[in-house]
Chains A and B, each alone.
Chain A
């Protein structure tokens, strides 16, 4: 059997904010492709601990997701 490569787990403390790396000033609720990876299967916002988003951008993300949910672009609950 070919050995499967072991999955490398990234240390959550070493992970950097994906929005800060691109210096994002504002997260738009209309921008579905960027918001989608921060939502889990049930439609909840992923925790900061797992995604590595900084607090500033997590707050922006929260408002964006809430607006998108209201407009019917994202589900409240799956």
Chain B
């Protein structure tokens, strides 16, 4: 992107952002754009760049519109013409908001319409990956649970076996004790 520099010292490069309500017929849209351009060009402006963003949701209702279309112009202008343009843009039809800003030195024009779309795609992809990760985590947890349940089942089976053995061994012990008592050879 080219760096901004005014041709003469008296002029500056200004950035003009205009907000138009979105559901407009193409004729009206072009008329509004022409109107804005003619306002600036009548005041002695020279267009450097133009960027139409297209449909965008608004953060709050402006003039009854919930969706808008942003248009960003870069104009080379005489500083004295700014007030006049500002006044006439305020009156202009179908212009919800406008903002004239003087970008700082070394500012490079960036096409934010493209950048925003790229960002949208990236964020969508991130969300998808996050969802997949969550699902995988859930699956892993389920598998672990199943494993734990299968390992738990044999444990209660073992206990009754031991219980069966114990009384048997008890009988054996009593028998042996009886034998020992019956033995006369042993002197206690």
The chain A residues found within 8 Å of chain B, CB to CB, are 2, 25-26, 28-33, 43, 67, 69-76
Contacts and interface: CB of A to CB of B under 8 A. Distances in A.
B33 interface: no
Interface string B53-92: 0001011101000001010100000000000000000000
Contact of A72 (B97, B101, B116, B119): B97
Given A29-B101, A75-B60, 7 more contacts: A26-B104, A32-B116, A32-B119, A71-B17, A71-B70, A72-B58, A73-B58
A74 to B, nearest CB: 5
Main SS at interface, chain B: strand
B104 A71 contact: no
Contacts of B70: 30, 71, 73
Contacts of B107: 26
Contacts of B119: 32-33
A25 B72 CA distance: 20
A31 B96 CA distance: 20
B110 interface: yes
19 contacts: A25-B104, A25-B106, A28-B110, A29-B101, A30-B72, A31-B115, A32-B112, A32-B119, A33-B116, A43-B59, A67-B99, A67-B101, A69-B59, A71-B17, A72-B60, A72-B62, A73-B56, A73-B58, A75-B59
A2 B148 CA distance: 13
A42 B129 CA distance: 27
Nearest to A74: B59
Contacts of A26: 103-104, 107
